[in-house]
Structures are given as structure tokens and as C-alpha cells.
Structure 1
Amino acid sequence: MSNFDPNAILRGAQLTVVGAYRALQNPGLFKYEHYRQAAIAVCAGIAIRILVAVPIITVKVSLWALGFFIDFDSVTWDDKLVGGMDFLANSVLQVPFFLMSLMRYITPTLDRMFMDSLQWVDQTYYAKHKSEDPKRLRATYFAELRMYSAHGDTSKHRAPMDAALAFLIRFGRRAGISLAIYALSYLPIVGRFVLPAASFYTFNKAVGPIPATIIFGSGIFLPRRYLIVFLQSYFSSRSLMRELLEPYFSRIRFTKEQKKHWFHDREGVLFGFAVGFYIFLKIPLLGVLIYGIAEASTAYLITKITDPPPSPAYSEKFAESQVKWKNKQKFLELPLHNLDANNADTEGKKPIETFDSPGKKFS
């Protein structure tokens, strides 16, 4: 459990709160463009709820019409059908979460929100440490990262539709597996072991055999509904974290293997950070708005679990140097009120630069 220990998860949850607090302090988050996007996000939330509800409402209307010919007072299958469809859409297939994630590929707003927030994090860091020796402060993140193409290597640039298609394939594969496991759990005799076995297989790789065995044993006695919610919350939190980190990984290019090890070395902190926002994303209508706050908060997270990037001309070996989280133990041991302290040891840093908007230096 070295990467998934309770201390790492707790620190990730703390970063959820601190990151959201820092993001909401940014006056740029409340400028006209973001106000407009917030209004669009709320409207999108309403649209998502309607899209999810349409099939359920259709079934309800059909059952109401059939009620003139069939006496539903003496049966319960109609209520089970409606309740099952709602559970399938929201907990098994995670349709609202899927539609929120899909918005990233429709509008660049989330990427801009990440970069604006990263700029604000740099500014507040230097303001907080303005009385200290500049040579001991970390380098900036925003000033360097904004020089990278948001599409990485332009020679390998994928069209937005291709990126969206890749996302749809990933989600479709995950939804298919979820449906298959859910259906198998209804098999006679062996069905009760399907979800606990899936839990053991999933968590054995993440936390080790002993905790996974405890989860397996508990899962045998838990109702199917609770176990599905538990599993999907875990998978969706991991998926959410990958989506929130997309603005960083679209600029700093990792190989597939490097990216796998990068996530594994930070797994506990990333899960603790993501699961907090995932819970808030379940709030009806406001979920999409909270998704934007989560993206802005991820900018703060990046400054805690990675090193400041060099300029693109010197970035050849930077991704490889970031695979292992070098200051992990030191960061996990920091008191909550002093989370910025571990970055204050960079020697030979570049002169401090801050910007009032992307590309515009003001000091």
C-alpha cells in the first residue's frame, strides 16, 4: 500500500479543499467570459439531467397508459423497472459523468481555466514568499507551460474529432465491461461472487492482497446496489482524475509506459483528490459547474506533485524525470498549513515572472 496508503489519500482530499479555495480566490475566475461559461455549464447540467430522464419518463408515461388496462396496484415490477433504469443510468453507466467529461472535447474552456488558475497559483506562491530569498523559491509553472503546444507534438496532432472519438471508445469499453459485470451478478449461485471478485481483482493491483481480500469478504454480504456504487465511484474517480490532468499531459508528452508509472507513483493522492470532487459532481444541475472548479483546482495539485517544467527547448528528458515523484515522502509529512514549503529549495531558478493574463507580463 506504499502508493495507496491512508495518509496519501487524506493528503489528496486536503488538496481538494485547498485547491478549490485557491481557485475560488482567483478574480480571473469571475471575469465575464467565465461567468458566461458558468451559465452555460448550469444550462448543460439541466440538459444532462433531461437527457438522462427522457428514457425513464418515457417508460413512466407508457406504464401510465398501460394502467388503464392493467392493474399495477397488485404488482411491483413496474416500480422496480423504473428504479432499475434510474440506477443503471446514474450508477452503472455513469451517463451524467460521461456527458460532463465529453464537454472537454467540445469547448476549450476547461483548458483555459486550468492555465488561468496555474497563473494564479504562481502569483499567490510568490506573494506568500515575497520576504524570502528568491534563489530558494521554486520556478514558475505557468510561464513555461504556456510555451508548450496544447496539442503536444504538432506533427502528431490529432483533430478534435479524433480525440473525442478516442474518448468515446474508452467510455464505451468501460460501459460495456460495467454492463457485463452487472448482468453476470444476476446469475444463479455464482452471481453473488461476481462483484466481490471484480472488487478483489481491481483493488489487489492498487492496494495489495490483504485489503483486497477484506473488500472481497465484505462484498459477499453487501447488497448488490452498494457494491456497484462503491466500484463505480472508484473507477469514475480515477477516470475523472485523468480527464482533469489532460491540460498538463497534452503539453508535457509522456509515453504510455511513463504515464502509467507516473499515475501509479501518485495513486493515493490522486484518488483522494478526485473522489472528493466526484462526490460533489453528483449534485444535480450544479455538477458541471463543479467540474470547472475541479479543473481549476487541478492547477494547484500539479504544483505539488510535479517539478516546474523547463522551456520546450530543454524538455527532451523532462517527462522521464517526472515519472517518479521525488519529494513524495516529504510532501506527505508536511503540516496542512505549510503545503508550499517543500518547493522552496530550487537553486539557480529563473527570475520571477508573473502575468496578468496568458501572454501579458505585468511585472
Structure 2
Amino acid sequence: MASSKLDELKARAEAAMPKNVDEWRAKVANFDPNAILRGFQLTLVGAHRALQNPKMFTSDHYRQAALAVAAGIAIRMLIEIPIFGVRALLWIIGLFVNLDHSSWDNDVVRGLQFVEHSVLQIPFFLMSLMRYITPTLDNMFMESLDWVDRTYLAKHKSDDPKTLRAMYYPNLAQYPKRGPAATVGEQTQKKNAFHGITEFLLRFGRRALISLAVYLLSFVPYVGRLVLPAASFYTFKNAVGTQPAIVIFAIGIVMPKKYLVVFLQTYFSSRSLMRELLEPYFSRIQYTKEQKRKWFKEREGVLFGFGVGFFVLLKIPLVGVLIYGIAEASTAYLITKITDPPPPPSQSTGFAETQVRWKNKHEFMSLPLTLLDAVNTNEGGTRRNSRQQTTGNTTALPEKQYS
């Protein structure tokens, strides 16, 4: 009897252990602090590189910047409309009921503001929606990618051209753009824009409803205090594994609800921001749904670190829309660090599958910040050649090792 009980406990313990230890370690490594820190470093370096681009300060971009500020003001006004309506209703109620000695009216207004900004993320939604109306952000990404290539060549002009990495912009610019605000025929453009907006609204609406439902369930007596910690556990279990997720669950139980909501929404919104910022790349290089899922999973920590830095800046009133544009331009620099240069469209068959796994992740993570643009070769001294078209020339350049 005791022996059978012991065997049963042993079986349960084995079942609780990861089936593939190497796979579990790789999962945690994708989201480790070092990867997140490197992503945040790329936020700073990418923004600095983007702001050095003289094309960012042309009259056309000044006009877009003015429109962005105007859009920021409009977004601010749209967000305040429901709050203004509630204040007006409370003022009318105050004509008949004495509210001087009660605080529930102020609590209602503060609660509504918190739901709009932290639960539903309305400002972020309105900024992201602009991508599906105008091709400005896509153009900014491509111009910045061209600038990154030009800067790379300028920094290594004294090096042997055979040792330089291949270029990104010339080939990527040849790919037809499929998606929102594509610069194609008018009829196709309208169809693409409508399809993109519909998908975006469905995606954001689903996330907003789930967020609101979880937040409302957290007010249920007795079990409500466990709702948000349970959501935290479920969210991070797939990202970092069961044991760290249990720690996050325990911290969530003692953490005030307001801060736990902000923590969860920052995580989800940073991931959503990265998907939106990478849209110019994925609208040209076609990945299957499964390939795209694995691509994001492989780079999860770096993408989160990159996205969370910009997401925090996006919350600055009025200028958040301007920050969004800088984030899009900076993403061009990020792409050159986490993917290989694309081949010409005629040779693109099978390219997406080769990019699912980030082949040089560990080497890139170990580079010091000052050597992110280092010229690299394969370990055996051989190089993989890729015919790439540099700006104004056609030169045989090898692919870089640190992608």
C-alpha cells in the first residue's frame, strides 16, 4: 500500500517536470532579463539613429509632425468626451442631491479615466488606428531602413566591401506591399485599407472586451481578488514557465489592484505595439500564421524590451503620436539586428522559414552596446554570399552573421 502511494507521488512529480528540459530553458531564455535589457538598449540606439536621418526633418515630415500633434489633441478631446458627459450628468444630479459631503462622484470620474487609459487603452488604440488610414508610418519605416543601410556603409567605408553585410532596403522595397494603406491602385488600396481596419478593430475589440471582463470580475466578492493574479499566471506561464509564473501570481495577490492592472496592460500593449510597428516588414515578407507565431516567440524578450520603452513614452499627452512615428522609424534599425537581409522577390521562396529561428541570438546578446554594428564572419572563416543592391550600385555583399 505504501509502495503504491510512493509510486503515485513519484509519477505526479515526473508529470509536473518539463518534458523537454532544453525546450523549457529555451523558452525562459527568450524572455530573460538580458534579452529585455538588450531590447531596451535597441530602443535608445534605434531612436538616436532614426533622429539622425536628415529626411526626418524635411518639409513633408514637418507637415506630418504638425498633423500628428493635431491628431494628439483630437485624441485627447475624444477621450475626454465620455468623462465630460459623466461630469455633466453628475452636475445635474447635484442640482437635486447634495454631493458636497460625498466622494462617490469623484470616484466615478477617476474610475472612468482609469478604465479608458489603463484598461481599454483608448489613446493607444486611436494612435494605432492611424496606420490603417494613411501610409505615412509605412513610408517612415522604409525611409529609415534606407538610412540605416547608408549609415552602415558610411561607418565601414574603409573596410573591405566583401566583409560587409548585405543591404536591407533595396530588396525589401521591391516587394509588393499587402496590407493597410498600401500604395497601389485606388480600388485595391481601398479594399486593403478596409480589410486592415476590420481586422484591427476585431483584434483590438476582442482584447478590450477580455480586459474589461477580467477587470469587472476582479470586483466579485471573495474570488475577485484572485482574478487578476490568475490572469497574470496564465499570461506568463507560456512566456517564462510555471515556476516564475507562480511567483508572479503570489506577488499579484498582495499587489494593489490598480498597479496590477497597469502591469498586465503594459505587457499586453507592448506586445501589441511591436506587432503594429513590424507591420511594414510583415506586409512585404509573407509568413504563415504559424511561422509568424514562432518568429515572435523566438525574439520575445528583445521585442518586449524594445516595445515597453516606447509604450511608456507613448503615454505622454499630445506628443505621444510623435513618439509613435519615432518608434516606427526605430523599428527599421531593429529589423537589421533580428533578421537577415531579404533576397530579391524572385528568390524569396522559402526565405520566411529560414527566419523563424533567430540563428545568431546568443552571439548578438553577448555583443557590447558599442559593437552592435560590428562586422562578422562565420566561425569557419567562410561567408555566405548574397547578391544585394546597395544604394546606387550593384555589389556582391555577404550576409551578416549577427542578424
Q: Mind listing any 5+ residue stretches in structure 2 that lack a counterpart?
A: 1-27, 394-403
Aligned-partner residue type, residue 234 of structure 1: Y
CA–CA distance in structure 2, aligned partners of residues 209 and 33 of structure 1: 50
Q: 1:276 to 1:344 in 2, by over 3 A?
A: farther
2:49 matches 1:22: yes
The equivalent residue for 2:335 is: 302
Please name the residue that 2:147 is paired with: 120
The whole-number CA distance in structure 1 between the counterparts of 2:55 and 2:376 is 25
Are the equivalent residues in 1 in contact too, given 2:171–2:389 (CA < 8 A)? no
Matched, 1:88 2:115: yes
Cα RMSD (Å): 1.8
Residue matched to 1:235: 268
Q: Give me the whole-angstrom Cα distance separating, in 2, the residues matched to 1:325 and 1:54.
A: 46
Candidates 246, 264, 285, aligned match of 2:279: 246
CA–CA distance in 2 between the matches of 1:109 and 1:63? 41
Question: Is 2:171–2:388's contact at 8 Å kept on the other side of the alignment?
Answer: no
* Superposition TM-score, scaled by structure 1 size: 0.95
Q: Which residue number corresponds to residue 260 of structure 1?
A: 293
SS at 1:309 equivalent: coil
Q: Percentage identity across aligned positions?
A: 64
How do 1:179-258 and structure 2 match up within 5 A? Answer: 179-258=212-291
Structure 1 residue 129 corresponds to structure 2 residue 156? yes
* Partner Cα distance (2:210, 2:388) in 1: 51
Do the aligned partners of residues 290 and 171 (structure 1) sit closer, same or farther apart at CA in structure 2, a change above 3 Å counting? same
Name segments (4+ residues, structure 1) moved above 6 Å.
none
Give the whole-Å Cα distance in 1 for the aligned partners of 2:377 and 2:81.
Answer: 53
Contact 2:90 2:105 in 1 (8 A): yes
The answer to whether the aligner puts 1:62 opposite 2:89 as a matched pair is yes
Q: Which residue in the other structure is 2:178 paired with?
A: 151
Question: Residue 374 of structure 2: which of 329, 341, 360 is its match?
Answer: 341
Q: Structure 1 residues 303, 179: closer, same or farther in 2, change over 3 A?
A: same
Residue 169 (structure 1) aligns with: 202
Flag the 1:352–1:131 CA change in 2: closer, same or farther, 3 A. farther
Q: 1:135·1:347 contact (CA, 8 Å) conserved in 2? A: no
The 5-angstrom pairing of residues 105-116 of structure 1 reads 105-116=132-143
Q: Equivalents in 2 of 1:26, 1:107: separation in Å?
A: 21
Aligned to 1:278: 311
**Is there any run of 5+ residues in structure 1 with no aligned partner, and where?**
357-363
Alpha-carbon spacing, 1:300–1:193, altered in 2? closer, same or farther (3 Å): same
Q: CA deviation at 1:351?
A: 6.0
**Aligned AA (2:82):** P
In 1: Cα distance, 2:388 partner to 2:340 partner = 17
TM-score normalised by the chain length of structure 2:
0.85
Q: Whose RCO is larger (CA < 8 A, sep 6+)?
A: 1
1:118-166 deviation line (CA, Å, top 9, x unaligned):
0000000011111111111111000000000111799x99521111000
Q: Which has the larger radius of gyration?
A: 2
Q: Confirm whether residue 33 of structure 1 aligns to residue 60 of structure 2.
A: yes
Partner AA of 1:304 in structure 2: K
CA positional deviation for 1:66: 2.4
